[in-house]
Amino acid sequence: MHVDDAIRSRKSVRRFLPDPVSRDTLAHIVEVAGRAPSGSNIQPWQVHVVAGEALHRLSAAILAAFDSGEEHQPEYTYYPTQWFEPYRERRQRCGYGLYETLGIRREDKARRHEQMRRNFHFFDAPVAMIVTIDRRLETGSYMDAGMLIQSLMTSARGQGLHTCAQAALAWYHRIIREQLGLADSELVLCAIAVGHEDPEAPENHFITERKPVGSIARFHGD
């Protein structure tokens, strides 16, 4: 797959088939993604590839915490405390578009809650990648990790797979740490669900829009 096709066809898949992904394929994805750049080549990341019974245990532990109503917080701030334009409108269009595709009305709190809960099933994916960085590093390492995450998803597309990056899992870092035996220095950034797309699922037909080049780039000079 040409890199342009891999990037253009990447999307957030929210329902996967149960078909397994081989360890060789997963190792290849991580190897290729490991070519992502980082400042002074420090490579501040770790990728924890979770499948099989280990994934079932992790999912069950997080779901139990979610269902209990326990208070959990991530170790970093992802979103602003106060939204403003144009980001408020873009975020709303994304959320409303997904729920509309699924036939979930705004006032249907039960179904909205259930859809949120599917995050912690990893949308039925057979594999989850938990991405961490060393907490002793600084903001630049978050930029480095972002390039790794994009590379993981692009590499997966090159293998005919799909993904969904899940920042929601960062809220449950204590459970992830316990289940996977993470080092104290590791800060959980996100999960990435990996597998084969269920082409019949309506949520997988929801494609978020992108702004045109003229809206996101300014060209200076000839």
Question: Which tens digit of pLDDT belongs to each residue from 37-87?
Answer: 999 999 999 999 999 999 999 999 999 999 998 899 999 999 999 999 999
Domains, the chain: 3-77+120-200 (3.40.109.10)
Work out the mean pLDDT of the chain and round it to a whole number: 96
pLDDT of residue 1: 83
Evaluate if residue 117 carries a pLDDT over 90. Answer: yes
Pair 151, 32: CB distance under 8 Å:
yes
- Percentage of the chain exceeding pLDDT 70: 100
Evaluate if residue 102 carries a pLDDT over 90. Answer: yes
Q: List pLDDT tens digits, range 135-158.
A: 999 999 999 999 999 999 999 999
pLDDT of residue 215: 94
What are the backbone angles phi and psi of residue 82, rounded to the nearest 5°? -125, 120
Evaluate if residue 89 carries a pLDDT over 90. Answer: yes
pLDDT of residue 212: 95
Give the strand pairing for 127-134 and 45-51: antiparallel
CA distances from 66 to 27, 31, 59, 119, 212 (A): 31, 33, 10, 11, 38
Q: List pLDDT tens digits, range 119-132.
A: 999 999 999 999 99
